[in-house]
Chain A
């Protein structure tokens, strides 16, 4: 069972596919859960404290906006821990302000820098593409399971 980083990290489809074919999806929900189940200082809504922006310095320089560094404190450890990655490139749902957009660029850059098995896809736009999409993910994850 491999740890598979998914992008968009909130994707229902990718999260389900990875779990369905026997691997562990690394999604933002698990990172958020860790924070909201840990006692500390109240920092609603996501319990992202000023400490997170400091932790984010590991992946982004100090002149990078705190929003990017705070987000990287969630995604950075997952990118380091992942053994494979599935990326959807045309995910409109992952749009956002400078913080989100730059974090997304940095996430993709860091995943590309890592020498791990990686699957790049676009969302399917019809049933035929849906079959190819599911087959590609199934093939990728089956091969991943065989090498593990």
Chain B
């Protein structure tokens, strides 16, 4: 086994994912370059990857969110941008972890809609969603209907 010397120690990396009709990753990248003071910014197909000191990254993220708050989503990333262990340029195919992101990208439009609606509405007036732990038993009349439907 060889010794491991880490890079980018003390830095944080964040994904900025944009799902918007008005803003593209390129627009965000230009704005990020304008306000950045030494952070590493990488443009991707879905948004940006930003690496730098925590305060600096948080400042850039807060500024970028203002552009389209309901359509820009942010999450932490463990690896720095372009890391050979994760970057698809070295591995080929989709980056490990991209499948999860891709799946959630199909749901993000509903979340954006929810955020937009709740800008003008109190969340307390919205009924709670169905409890996923409750498994309702099959109603006996519905079971009868199913049986008759099968027999006829």
Contact = CB atoms under 8 A, between A and B. Distances in A.
Interface of A: 8, 10-13, 15-17, 19, 25, 27-33, 35-47, 89-90, 92-94, 120-127, 129-136, 138-139, 142
B1 to A, nearest CB: 5
21 contacts: A12-B73, A12-B75, A12-B101, A13-B104, A13-B111, A15-B75, A29-B77, A30-B76, A33-B78, A36-B6, A36-B79, A37-B11, A41-B1, A42-B4, A44-B85, A124-B111, A127-B110, A130-B111, A130-B113, A135-B118, A139-B123
Task: Give 9 closest A-B pairs by Cβ, nearest first.
Answer: A130-B110, A32-B78, A134-B114, A135-B126, A29-B76, A15-B75, A130-B114, A135-B123, A45-B85
A50 B129 CA distance: 42
Interface in B80-130: 83, 85-86, 96-97, 99-101, 103-104, 107-115, 117-118, 123-124, 126-130
B96 to A, nearest CB: 8
B4 A121 contact: no
Interface stretch (B12-20, B31-39, B140-148): B12-20
Interface of B: 1-6, 8-13, 15, 17, 73-79, 83, 85-86, 96-97, 99-101, 103-104, 107-115, 117-118, 123-124, 126-133
Given A41-B2, A43-B4, A120 B114 contact: no
A120 B128 CA distance: 11
Contacts of A138: 118, 123
A45 B86 contact: yes
B6 A37 contact: yes
A123 B6 CA distance: 37
Contact of B129 (A33, A94, A122): A122
A139 B114 CA distance: 13
B104 A12 contact: yes
Contacts of A43: 1, 4
